[in-house]
C-alpha cells in the first residue's frame, strides 16, 4: 500500500514539473563574471534550486 502511495506522489510531482517547465520555457541569459549562459528559465531555476 505504501508503494502505491509513493508511486502516485511521484507521478504528481513529475506532472507538476512538466507543467512548470512548459510555463517557463522562455530563454534567459545569466551572466556570472566572465561566463554567459543562455538556457530556459525553468532549467536555470531548477539548477539554482539544486545548487542551493
Single pTM value for the model: 0.64
pLDDT in tens, 1-52: 889 999 999 999 889 888 988 888 899 999 999 999 999 998 888 888 888 8
Q: Print the SS3 string covering the chain.
A: CHHHHHHHHHHHHHHHHHHHHHHCCCEEEEEECCEEEEEEHHHHHHHHHHHC
Q: How many domains does the chain have?
A: 1
Find the domain containing 21 and state its range: 2-51
Amino acid at each position: 500500500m505504501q508503494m502505491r502511495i509513493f508511486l502516485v506522489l511521484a507521478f504528481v510531482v513529475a506532472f507538476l514539473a512538466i507543467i512548470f517547465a512548459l510555463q517557463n520555457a522562455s530563454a534567459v541569459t545569466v551572466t556570472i563574471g566572465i561566463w554567459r549562459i543562455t538556457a530556459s528559465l525553468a532549467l536555470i531555476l531548477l539548477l539554482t534550486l539544486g545548487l542551493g
